[in-house]
Structure 1
Amino acid sequence: MPKIVIIGAGIVGCSLADELTERGYCDVVVLEKGPLWKPGGSTSHAPGVVFQANGSRTMAQFARQTVEKLYSIQHNGEPCFLKVGSLEIATTPERLAELHRRAGLAQSAGINARVIPPDEALKLHPLLVPDKLLGALYVPDDGIARAILADEVMGERAISRGARFVSDCEVLAIDQSEGRVTGVQTTQGSFPADIIVSCAGIWGPKIGAMVGMSKALQPLAHQLCYTAPMPELATYTTEAELPVLRHQGSDLYFKQRGQSLAVGWYGHKPLPVKAENILPGEPAGLMPSQVPFTPEHWKGAMELSAEVIPALKQAEIVESMNGLFSFTVDNFPLMGEWAGLKGFWVAEAVWVTHGCGVARAMAEWIVNGHPTLAVHECDVNRFETHQLGALHIEERGAQNFVEVYDLLHPLQPMESPRPIRTTGFYPRQQELGGFFLEAAGYERPQWYEANAGLLARYDCPPRDAWSSKFWSPIIGAEARAVREGVGLFDITTLKRIEVTGKGALEFLERMTTGNLHKKPGAITYCLLLNESGGILSDITVMRRGERDFFIGVNSNIDIHYLRQAAPDTVQVRDITAGTVGLGLFGPKAREVAQRLTPDDLGNEALGYFRLKSTYLGHVPVMLCRLSYVGELGYEIYTTADLALKLWDTLWQAGQQYGLIAAGRGAFNSMRLEKGYRSYGTDMNSEHNPHEAGLSFAVRKGGGYIGAEAFQAIDPAALSRRLVCLVLENPQQVVMGKEPVMHQGKVVGYLTSAYFGYTIGKPLAYAWVPAALSTQGTGLTIRYFDQDYPAIVGQDPQYDPQMTRLKS
């Protein structure tokens, strides 16, 4: 049994100790710098308001698990969660529409949520002003976490199973040997450890620095005040009976505390603090996670509060704080084992709302090898190098604080700092009027204004106001033009690695589901599975030589996973920054490419899923016969220094064939028509290959991770499936993540969604019960407050026989 040291006894640390010891991992020591059970971190001052609705399905599940756990435990007969419900109010039509969208997101994650009219909201919260209220999102299972009481209950349970909690114990150093942790040095001596889990919250960057780890976490101060007892609350005799309340349009939230109200305010400017400057007792009377209240930043808070709760006009503020808590560069927690040091785990940037859910996932990860829930969004190894710089962390953390309650579109990119990463194609893309969004720091075109003239040839249906944000009808024209001719796509944002060395083939066959015993020049689509048969990623393995593989992966998580598993004789090298990629797709792609090389590119010489090292003009390239958009074509890779020459060479050769540059919008439309899955959107570790329609990518026999679990699955007895939904009305475009309904009940949720410009209908992929996965089954999609009819359609909708790809 491993020796586990947990750093920090806040909501995550205490819950993790509870979860680990419950699973029999009882050699656990929890080190806490402050006193138990109110040590002075963010948990100790947090208001405990829990709103489960979240745009991320995983984060919503973390919140739901937190509510379930806290509601199930008591402290000396007192509940650790007050299930008073929540209201998010709307005072403008835009906010009301957003509440309908949020209700759908919550319902798709299994959370009981609905938009209610003003009169119902007023009955639940009589202090609200009636004349400005347009509606509210009501979640009856939300409420107030009594985190300090819960910490004690969970901590004592862990102690009863053998865990040890050490208070007033500051961590000074992390011991390590041969790339593994060995122990922790503290003010109370040394503690040996096989596994260290940093649950240090706002002090996380300080702990990370001890092992050379840069954490994409920024502590910021947030203002929270409590009123004196209010006459309007005089009839309430318990701690909380009114729902917790958010007025996101004015950056405010409220909760009842007996006969007073707490007012939380995000409307002030960001107030970042460095982790190493967070010290206890400065000034006296404040816990370490609090800094002196700054009245100048509170200006406007009470006036805006009184607009929705008039009783606050006369309320007196008797307690005030600037409380510290954590933001990350992408608003997700930091979870998992850091790739830089074996045995060093992190569970930080976690708010009370998600604390117990995160702890459960971490315990499953440590004990079972992977959590039940998909956690790729939260994996601590997900970041690009540029995201780990101090300036970037502070700027993005501060901006995420500003936007915490803003009405944000799913495609809305960050505005600063940009651009960060550009490819050698960028000057040409700018000349063509590219509209750029950001992907992994790269500027990636969505469409090109230079193609506006195509609209005279291709009619594209209009969209509603929401789905037309960050969209243009030019996208549809580009997609149709590529189907008929040929297009050039920038695919550089795909992560690329080399796996080389003695034993590379055997290593990859153990790690992936593909049959890689093929001659050099073969391309194989593979999956990475966990021991339970869940999909960790999908990758494309290109065999360049006997011991030389070029692989397209999804993220840094894949790279770290393979790198950590590789034997000493196998090298896993990230070559993304030193290379670029272009997709040359469309029925005329071969004609364009053939003009530039004397090599035979005919179907017999270079068949589907084959590669060739050659030259296109003066540019050495790896020409790969595959296409993610479902057309004849090639993925073309070369070194970054030759990017502009490659673009210009193809551009010049393609003009007589009508070559256009096409953006990511057209790419998404075309790949959805072809039924190609996108990892992290369409499937993740919660799904197995049979459910996701990817069992063709799993070789017969065993020898790969997850083989035993996969072979035990009966494909005829699945409980759910990923299906293609077709909407008949061309103007009813959905965005993804909406709930799928059957006979008025939520039965599933959407993954990818886009208009299929070739087939002329909106498409969406969705997880639904297997009993509803038969072609022709009628379902509905809840889009804002509208129900759109859809049917389960053929998968894929376009070229199911693959004749165009293999022509």
Structure 2
Amino acid sequence: MSSTSPARPRVVVIGAGIVGCSLADELTARGWTDVTVLEQGPLPAPGGSTSHAPGLVFRTNPSRTLTAFAAYTVEKFSALEADGQSCFHPVGGLELATTEERLADLRRRAGYAASWGVDGEVVPPSRCKELWPLLDGTKVLGGFHTPGDGLARAVLACRAQTARAQARGARFLERHTVTGIERARGRVTGVVTDRGTFPADHVVSAAGFWGPVVGRMAGVDVPLLPLAHQYVRTGPLPELAGATAEASRPILRFQDRDLYVREHTDRLGIGSYAHRPLPVDPFTVPAYDEAPVMPSSYPFTPEDFAPAWKDCAWLLPALAKARVREGFNGVFSFTPDGMPLLGESRALRGFWLAEAVWVTHAAGAARAVAEWMTDGRPALDVHECDLTRFEDAQRSPAYVRDRGAQQFIEVYDVIHPLQPPERPRPLRVSPFHARQRELGAYFLEGGGWERPHWYEANAPLAEGLELPRRDAWSARHWSPVAAAEARATRERVALYDMTPLRRLEVTGPGALAFLQRMTTNDLARKPGTVTYTLLLDETGGIRSDLTVARLAEDRFQIGANSRADEDWLLRHAPDGVHVRDITSGTCCVGVWGPLARELVQPLAPDDFSHRAFGYFRARETYIGHVPVTAMRLSYVGELGWELYTGADLGLRLWDTLWEAGRKLGAVAAGRSAFNSLRLEKGYRAWGHDMTDEHTPYEAGLGFAVRLDKGDFVGREALCRAGAPRRRLTALLLDDPADVVLGKEPVSLDGTTAGYVTSAAYGCALGRCVAYAWLPPLAAGTAVHVEYFGRALPATVADEPLFDPEMSRIRC
């Protein structure tokens, strides 16, 4: 909670859909009872997305966060009633495979379910037919059955939560159209409506697809795209004659044709994502009284649904003689990455977003925001939903439109974890991009950056390498060339494009004291030193890991992870301390390998010997004609430097290093090799291996904590912490032929005990390396990693796995 908020803050929630009602319930349950929910339409069904939602809740998701949100939605709504009806109907879920690719995907989804604690199993066609007798069983190869999934009765859940919140003091006002957001000195102060103004210390936009409209009033960008999605109901089916229950069979997903099906007593409801994207301008959505049905319901376009109807009849022969009785195009929200938008805006303090949240995740997302507001942080890691996550280049209306539409198209697609967006690309490129293309770089994308993962110019180096044969899934977006680049880094020297690494500059007379307060390690060292340190929250959870170079008494350069790091530091920076993102104006080449010194020393006027330029040291110098900030760091476990310069000089820096490296056999290497090397060395990746749910001691990063340096954020919590009950654990897969990718469940004595965070084949070790969250286990303990339904034996290993003496780095 903001330190400027009163003890009993006044909260105004804009929108009384499922998110707004859930949030009011969660806030009042935590003692924030001065809550006003404003709704432009009539209650309890005001005409937004909630009012027409079919209510499907499938919990399993590649995102652990979204799975947890959905699990809480099921838990909470199952305990709620309205008019004697439960707000959740646990009919289960059944996802079907009619292709081998989808069947493999369902096995992977079953792995996600096991990792995240959802009960589910892959079942044969006969079981699918038992669960859904209307199926043509000859068309089905198998299914993924999750008995705990089901139907959320969204409008009932709104009523039940409204009643609970009102009993605690909240008020819900219908027919109040928001026309403005009042603010003063960078904070929100009130909400203006057509029926009066409501003072507020906190305002939450839970307006659904109207989010951009509310955001504009507040001067806050809300990057989401409303899109229409088709839903129809059939007429009565003879096969369902006599049905009295709303639904008795699992919700059906026919993802191979972008369809889902649920029962409505004696008829079926069918939703389709198979049609063209139908974007909606939120600024032109009609008011409730001006809409033909409701604002979120647009006229049905039968021509868009015709192919979907044929696909449904192909799977469900009972539809051959049936007809569509009614249909509509219902509007809901998509972001460029398909995740919600949650959190407080730094541009307008006290203004919160709870946007792009579907019914499936509504209660969980609302709880997270309520915890964030009242306790200062959610109990669950929500960095994937943080509203700061998009770069400036990803917030243009054109980008939001293109990527939002693509998210709609890909809702049910089989998406590889490394699969990049198709457009708009290229968007952000380093100064070396032209040279990388000449070398045949295979680019993937992250944060809008084009990132080389390997270079086809190195293909001859891969000839003769003995590597495990990969299955079709692990072979996607991977090449044996990556292994050759990793080997070249270990044996000679390689150039890595580190430009996408976020760089912050912190300056001012109070910069040191500020950073000492914000981070865990001791930064009170002489200029020219580099320190690995952590950003924690007040509970001791890891918000990020940083490298901090002290370049002058009051000037620091920070290697950070995301925009959230900049946002966190800016929120806490005192007057006189300046935090600035310098990433776009600079670039970086990582020069790593046993011959790194032989490459850079002849090009530099300064002594690059170990004695003169030790590990974790920095200096401003030159490489040829190029001024650089050189930092002796290594994220790959080899001798080397990160060389930073201005973007305008980047190409000259690359060419200088490349030309000098020819005689040493230098190669350009990509992120695939980089990831393999860093896992061999045990270097963690924030957001993958650890988040704010984990403490430094659990993550194996206690060495970056100096409790004796004085107070810092999270110190008190660390001092109270007991022995870790879980640890980030290094595993080596026993069979050299086995490879996993991440998020797979790990079992101990036949029971799921944790999950893999990161994994890659370690060329120097001849085994796949996997890191996993597990209970504390001794080295040598046998476990199994489940990969597409196969239990792969693995062993807990001591770390670091490679060069434990650090002799290759400190030389």
TM-score interval w.r.t. the shorter chain?
Answer: over 0.9
Residue equivalent to 1:768: 774
1:149 alignment partner AA: L
Letter in 1 for 2:448: G
Corresponding residue number in structure 2 for 1:793: 797
Equivalence for 1:781: 785
Which residue of the partner structure matches residue 717 of structure 2?
A: 709
CA contact (8 A) 1:579 1:637 kept: yes
Deviation at 1:423, TM superposition (A): 1.0
Distance across 2 between alignment mates of 1:274 and 1:785: 44
Which position in structure 1 is the counterpart of 2:726?
A: 720
Is 1:746 aligned with 2:759?
no
Distance 1:413 1:798 in 2: 31
Q: What SS is found at the alignment partner of 1:340? A: coil
Matches within 5 A, 1:107-118: 107-118=114-125
**What is the correspondence of 1:200-599 to structure 2 with a 5 Å cutoff?**
200-281=207-288, 284-456=291-463, 458-599=465-606
Quote the residue 2:5 is aligned against.
none
Query: Is it true that 1:170 corresponds to 2:177 in the alignment?
Result: yes
Alpha-carbon distance between aligned partners in 2 of 1:454 and 1:698, rounded to the nearest angstrom = 41
Give deviations 1:677-733, integer Å, cap 9, x for gaps: 00000000111111100111111234111111011112xx32111101101222210
Find out whether 1:95 has 2:102 as its counterpart.
yes
Report the Cα offset of residue 743 of structure 1.
Answer: 2.4
Paired residue type of 2:613: L
Q: Which one-letter code corresponds to 1:794 in the other structure? A: D
Paired letter, 1:163: A
In structure 1, how many angstroms separate the alpha carbons of the residues matched to 2:313 and 2:350? 51
**TM-score in terms of structure 1 length:** 0.99
Q: What is the CA–CA distance in structure 1 between the aligned matches of 2:805 and 2:464, rounded to whole Å?
A: 28
Aligned pair count? 803
Contact 2:468 2:738 in 1 (8 A): no
Question: Does the C-alpha gap of structure 1 residues 281 and 368 become closer, same or farther in structure 2, counting only changes over 3 Å?
Answer: closer
Aligned to 1:805: 809
1:40 and 1:21 map into 2 onto residues whose CA distance is 25
Partner Cα distance (2:742, 2:200) in 1: 44
- Give SS of 1:689's match: coil
Distance 2:519 2:483 in 1: 36
Aligned twin of 2:692: 685
Aligned-partner residue type, residue 806 of structure 1 = R
Whole-angstrom distance in 2 between the partners of 1:593 and 1:802: 21
Structure 1: distance between partners of 2:571 and 2:795: 44
Structure 1: distance between partners of 2:60 and 2:474: 21
Deviation at 1:576, TM superposition (A): 0.5
Q: Is contact 1:531-1:705 (8 Å) kept?
A: yes
AA at the equivalent of 1:738: E
Name the amino acid aligned to 1:581: C
What is the CA–CA distance in structure 2 between the aligned matches of 1:418 and 1:230, rounded to whole Å?
48
Q: SS of 2:697's equivalent? A: helix
Residue identity in the other structure for 1:404:
V
* Structure 1 position 284, deviation (Å): 5.0
- Which amino acid is the alignment partner of residue 795 of structure 1? E
Among all aligned residue pairs of Structure 1 and Structure 2, give the percentage whose two residues are the same amino acid: 55
Deviations 1:52-100 (A, max 9, x none): 1101001100000110000011112210000000000011111111100
Q: What is the rounded CA distance, in whole Å, between the counterparts of 1:751 and 1:594 in structure 2?
A: 38
Please state how far the C-alpha of 1:28 moved relative to its aligned partner.
0.7
**One of 729, 732, 735 as aligned partner of 2:741:** 735
Q: 1:496 to 1:284 in 2, by over 3 A?
A: closer
Structure 1 residue 212 displacement after superposition: 2.1
2:707–2:715 contact (8 Å) kept in structure 1: no
Aligned partners of 1:460 and 1:477 also within 8 Å? no
One-letter identity of the residue aligned with 1:778? A
Cα distance in 2 for residues equivalent to 1:209 and 1:225:
34
Distance 2:412 2:465 in 1: 39
User: Please, which moves more after superposition, 83-92 or 652-661?
Assistant: 652-661
Cα deviation code 1:487-514 (max 9, x no counterpart): 0000011110100002111111111111
Match of 2:3 in 1: none
Contact 2:28/2:168 (<8 A) preserved: yes
CA deviation digits over 1:228-258, x for unaligned, max 9? 1211111421111110000000010001111
| Mapped partners of 1:284, 1:450: distance in 2 | 60
CA-CA distance at 1:460 after TM superposition: 2.9
SS in 1 for 2:278: coil
CA apart distance, 1:802:
1.1
Please tell me whether the aligned partners of residues 389 and 563 of structure 2 are also in contact (alpha carbons under 8 angstroms): yes
Q: Which amino acid is the alignment partner of residue 441 of structure 2?
A: G
Contact 1:479 1:757 in 2 (8 A): yes
Distance of 1:284 and 1:542 partners within structure 2: 58
Q: Which has the larger displacement, 283-292 or 81-90?
A: 283-292
Q: Which amino acid in the other structure matches residue 751 of structure 1?
A: T
| 1:643 maps to 2:650 | yes
CA distance in 2 between counterparts of 1:387 and 1:126 reads 46
The Cα of 1:159 is off from its aligned counterpart by 0.7
Is 1:72 aligned to 2:72, yes or no?
Answer: no
CA distance in structure 2 between the aligned counterparts of 1:236 and 1:144, rounded to whole angstroms: 17
- Which structure 2 residues correspond to residues 157-196 of structure 1 after superposition, within 5 A? 157-196=164-203
Shift of 1:653: 1.2
Q: Determine helix, strand or coil for the equivalent of 2:137.
A: coil
Give, as a single letter, the amino acid of the residue that structure 1 aligns with 2:186: G
* Cα deviation 1:313-340 (Å, max 9, x = unaligned): 1222222110000000011100000121
Q: What is the RMSD of the two structures over their aligned residues, measured on CA atoms? A: 1.0
Question: 1:357 offset after TM fit, Å?
Answer: 0.1
Aligned-pair distance for 1:598? Answer: 2.1
Q: Tell me, what secondary structure is at the counterpart of 2:559? A: strand
> Given that residues 234 and 268 in structure 2 are in contact (C-alpha distance below 8 angstroms), is that contact kept between their aligned partners in structure 1?
yes
CA-to-aligned-CA distance 1:600-652 (integer Å, 9 cap, x gap):
11111110000010000000000000010010000110000001000011111
Q: AA paired with 1:792? A: V
Quick one: structure 1 residues 384 and 798, their matched pair in 2 at CA, closer, same or farther if it must change by over 3 Å?
same
Unaligned runs of 5+ in 1: none
Q: Secondary structure at the match of 1:679?
A: coil
C-alpha separation in 2, matches of 1:800 and 1:10: 55
Q: Give the Cα separation in 2 of the matches to 1:736 and 1:660.
A: 28
**What is the distance in 2 between the residues matched to 1:77 and 1:747?**
39
AA aligned to 2:809 is L
Structure-2 separation of matches of 1:424 and 1:766: 36
Tell me the CA shift for residue 164 of structure 1.
1.0
Q: Distance in 1 between matches of 2:316 and 2:799?
A: 52
Q: Which AA in structure 2 matches 1:711?
A: C
Unaligned segments of structure 2, at least 5 residues: 1-7
Asked if the contact 1:461/1:473 (under 8 Å) is kept, the reply is no
**Residue 201 of structure 1 contacts residue 348 of structure 1 at CA under 8 Å; is this kept in 2?**
yes
SS at match of 1:29: strand
TM (normalized to structure 2)? 0.98
What CA distance in whole angstroms lies between the structure 2 residues aligned with 1:339 and 1:468? 42
2:4 equivalent in structure 1: none
